[in-house]
Amino acid sequence: MPTTNFNLPKIENTNTADVVRDLNALADATDVAIKVAKDKADAAVPTSQKGAPSGVATLGTDGKVPTAQLPTIATTATDITITDANDYYTSTKVEGALAELGQTLAGTRTSLISTAQQLGVM
């Protein structure tokens, strides 16, 4: 009668004990069970999908995903929206809001220079 979970052999009550034979049988059965478990674990993510596009990222020696396996990040902000509860900007996109901010700063700079010139500090 084998064990329930791993089908390991049990010694029948009617058999005489042969410790070496029984331990060898147990070792062989354990070895087979471990091999089956390892094969299933290895097959869970095929090697061909590890580190491959549309597959599963691997980890480098530093424990991090290598840069080559990371997606390219957009370098423009044209598709990023902005929430402006105080209505500081007319644009709903980050790029437009930054342009408006630049215009405001340029206007403020011009105003500060003009004021400084009028006060004679510049």
Phi-psi region of 51 (alpha: psi -120 to 50; beta: other; left: phi over 0): left
Show me where the domains of the chain are located: 1-57, 74-122
pTM of the model: 0.33
Q: Please, what sign has the CA dihedral across residues 92, 96, 100, 102?
A: positive
Cα 18 to Cα 58: distance, rounded to the nearest angstrom: 48
pLDDT averaged per 10 residues, the chain (length 122): 73 74 83 89 84 88 90 70 79 83 89 89 80
pLDDT score for 79 = 66
pLDDT score for 1 = 65
pLDDT score for 78 = 59
pLDDT score for 3 = 75
